[in-house]
A and B are shown apart, each in its own frame.
Chain A
Amino acid sequence: MGTPLVKRLLAVLLLLAACAGPSFSYRDYERKAAHTADEAASVVGSAMLTVELANGRRATRAYLSVLLGEAESTLGAIQQTFEGVQPPDRHADRLRAELGEHLDGAADVLAALRIEVRRGHVDALAGIAEPLGGLHDALEKLAEEHR
């Protein structure tokens, strides 16, 4: 059935596989949070550009709809990955809550944008997108502080 060493290695591998994105220290968790914030800021920035296109009537509704739908699903994937990371201590819990708040805020705005564009309300996008600027800056600041 294999040597004890092989069994031990297998046990370690199984333990590692059971954890979703483990973080062994606060510093490690912080880096992952900064990376997540960076990626989310990129998605939010892209959505802001898309809304600018809509404002200037420089793109079709179909195109805007696809872009905003993609932004929402990309952000969802980023959020899900980060939420799967085990925070190592209470300090990390606070960081998780702070970043989670920004991600939730951005996800809500992107969902609202997607819904409105698919209803054909292109003129309403600028108003809905107003919080994105602040969320973008907050995400970038968080990434900068914890890089």
Chain B
Amino acid sequence: MKRLLAVTLGILTAIGGFVDIGDLVANALVGSRYGFALAWVVPVGVVGICLYAEMCGRVAAISGRPVFDLIRERLGPRLGLANLAASFLVTALTLTAEIGGVALALELATSVNYLLWVPLVGFLVWLVIWRVGFARMEQVFGLAGLLLIVFAVALWKLGPDWGQVLHDASHPALPPGEGLPTYLYYAIALFGAAMTPYEVFFFSSGGVEEHWTRRDVGVARSNVFIGFPLGGVLSLAIMGCTALVFFPLGVGVDTLGQVAMPPAVALGKVGLAIVLVGIFAATFGAALETGLSAGYTVAQYFGWQWGKFVRPLQAARFHGVTLLTIVVGVMVMLTTVDPIKVTEYSIVFSAVALPLTYLPILIVANDPEYMGERVNGRISNTLGTVYLVLVLAASLAAIPLMIATKAGQ
């Protein structure tokens, strides 16, 4: 019974923790601009993240070490450094975007300018990372992030013609006036948002933080195979809401305030209150995850003591990197750069960095020296290879498409 509860809690946390500022912005923006014509990208991204997160969870449970730790050892310091540089920069950019997202959520609730919230948000993110235990931190913000289910309720209340929705999603067509390059650019952005590198590093390091063993492979898999797809359903609900409210009017979503509008349209002030708390929880939780992931990647590469399972004094350099990344994120936000633009760039650069993140994972998950008989099976390897080709194509196309479409204009 206790184990069942733990599994349920893990799944709920995974659902709530799946959506971050990138998912919120990308899904809402795409729904308002393309209706359901890009809905197919979400399941494609979810299958990819499930596939590689499962490998990472299994590696952590079997070897007792996080993937990043093994990448340097298995592939050597040079390739490890390329992996570190790409992953760290994208994670730091994502953290910056998450801090902006939390501040924007507070602005929407209070009408106090988000720039005034940014330093406080940065401080709170650091304080929670410093003081709160790993499991409690993950559960509180993951469960609070579940409030984003309000998007699914709003979608149902908005009463779409489900037959038409299914038809539009399964027969994607370019809306009038939209070009193919922009369509592909947003497809890559959605894909990058679903497969953000920090998610796998956090999942893997989190497994070690929670002392996973061989017996926990099942827990890891249930989190991944049930929690993440349900998180993907939340992403689709966000897209569906903006597709119904904004797309018919030709209104594009380019602020977080607009993202929160459909629940208010469908459910009034209660819906608005729930969605604002949900956005706060989701972005704050993701800020914690990205802050920790920044520390994890650097500390694991250099072989420093890391993690929240030891006292901060024993992992001073790990906490130092985390703090420094938060400070830089706050400073970038205080330059008055648009947080939504930072989010858009973070998900596109995520797509660029994907091969450097996922190829080493596939290699480590196939190494019997670390995995014994629990190396990847034929299905994992076939799908893993197909996805590697996909992420490579997305990575190569991302920057040219960004330039050609003036970042999706």
Contacts and interface: CB of A to CB of B under 8 A. Distances in A.
Do A and B come together as binding partners?
yes
Interface of A: 35, 38-39, 41-42, 45-46, 49-50, 52-53, 56-63, 65-67, 70, 74, 140, 147
Contacts of B252: 39, 42
Given A58-B264, A140-B250, A46 B109 contact: no
A96 to B, nearest CB: 20
B111 A42 contact: no
B268 A58 contact: yes
B249 A45 contact: yes
18 contacts: A45-B249, A46-B251, A46-B258, A49-B246, A49-B265, A53-B265, A57-B269, A58-B268, A58-B272, A60-B109, A62-B110, A63-B257, A63-B264, A66-B107, A66-B111, A67-B255, A67-B257, A74-B254
Contact of B272 (A42, A45, A60): A60
Contacts of B251: 42, 45-46, 49
Interface of B: 107-111, 177, 245-246, 249-252, 254-255, 257-258, 260-261, 264-265, 268-269, 272, 276, 409
Secondary structure of the A contact surface, majority rule? helix
B113 to A, nearest CB: 9
A61 B254 CA distance: 21
A81 B257 CA distance: 23
Nearest to A34: B177
A65 B111 contact: yes
Contacts of A38: 250
6 closest A-B pairs by CB: A62-B111, A45-B251, A58-B268, A67-B257, A65-B111, A42-B252
A59 B254 contact: no
Given A45-B250, A49-B245, A140-B250, A58 B108 contact: no
Contacts of B109: 60, 62-63
B258 to A, nearest CB: 6
A62 B108 contact: yes
A119 to B, nearest CB: 13
Contacts of A60: 109, 269, 272
Contact of B250 (A41, A53, A62): A41
A42 B252 CA distance: 6
Given A66-B107, A70-B255, A74-B254, A58 B265 contact: yes
Nearest to A65: B111
Contacts of B269: 57-60
Contacts of B258: 46, 67
A61 B269 CA distance: 10
